[in-house]
Amino acid sequence: MQATLKSSARFDGVGLHSGAPARMVVHPASADYGIWFRRTDITDRDALIPARWDYVEQTALCTRLVNGADVSVSTVEHVMAALAGCGIRNALIEIDGPEVPILDGSAAPFVATFIERGIQGLGTADRAIRILKPVEVRRGEAVARLDPAETLEIDFHIDFADRAIGRQDKVLNMANGAFVRELCDSRTFCRQADVDAMRAQGLALGGTLENAVVVDGDRVLSPGGLRHDDEAVRHKMLDALGDLALAGAPILGRYTGHRAGHALTNELLRQLFATPGAWRMEVCDDTTSRRLPGVGVKAGDLRAVA
């Protein structure tokens, strides 16, 4: 069944790219409400922004949502992944700045707080988007694809010249607490050369070695090193779950990403919904609901990565 939080959850921090401070509060919401953002610092025009694929403005570094009044919120992918990975389909997210706080660079702080606040069923059946035939988009060597499957599976491949990352591959069935156990603590990552270039352009102003994994060749510069040997590909899977959550309902299908990023995953959703016969919305029976990401998640799942 659909779920929401039992009580509101608050997060304070700075945005990774803007460096702007923000206070964000995730509130419970009723069944079929979906996920919405509201900019509490905007009072002169529509400040509500739906967390939906067709409100995404294409950016290479993060996922940014923009409404018809040109009100935006960026870097939404980590909190969206945490909501999806905890099975929370309905929430109002109030934020007093332009960017979601980066916290430690992963989704674990969101997940831990959601589990602490409690997750409650709403007594209404889940709806899910079933993939009926393959859909694929490409940009150069980058590929994103959806294929039919009985539950959401993510298959991701990355290949970086830096030896600290290199080539990494991982496949996960996202049913139940898999996201919380396997992915939620994996942090955003970048190369030192990219950090320097972004800062020269006025980006990554809130980035530190404490909220991102920074590599330089074969060295990991962040204190404490990696949380997983394959933390980079795990984080790419985290991002993919957050971006796929913008479909508006859980996906029953296999997502394959090869060097894919935020923009390509959004392009894949646009292609999916523009392709006749590629999908259908269905009401989930009990068996299907139990296979959705986050259903039955518990504190013990988080302890596996804490």
Residue numbers annotated as active site = 262
Q: How many residues does the chain have?
A: 306
3 state SS of 190: strand
Separation of alpha carbons 61 and 89, rounded Å: 25
Residue whose entry in the numeric block shows the structure tokens 């074969």: 218
Is residue 37 within a helix (H) or strand (E), and if so which, with residue range? strand 35-39
- The single-letter code of the amino acid at 237 is M
Contacts of 273 (CB under 8 A, 6+ apart): 53, 54, 279
The whole-angstrom separation of Cα 72 and Cα 145 is: 28
Please compute Rg for the chain using Cα positions.
18
Tell how strand 91-95 and strand 35-39 pair up.
parallel
The whole-angstrom separation of Cα 153 and Cα 232 is 18
Burial grade of 283 (CB within 10 A; 0-12, 13-18, 19 or more): exposed
User: How far is it, in rounded angstroms, from Cα 161 to Cα 167?
Assistant: 8
CA dihedral 55, 128, 37, 63 (to 10 degrees): -50
The rounded distance, in Å, linking the Cα atoms of 166 and 191 is: 12
Per the structure block, which two tokens stand in for 81? 């992944």
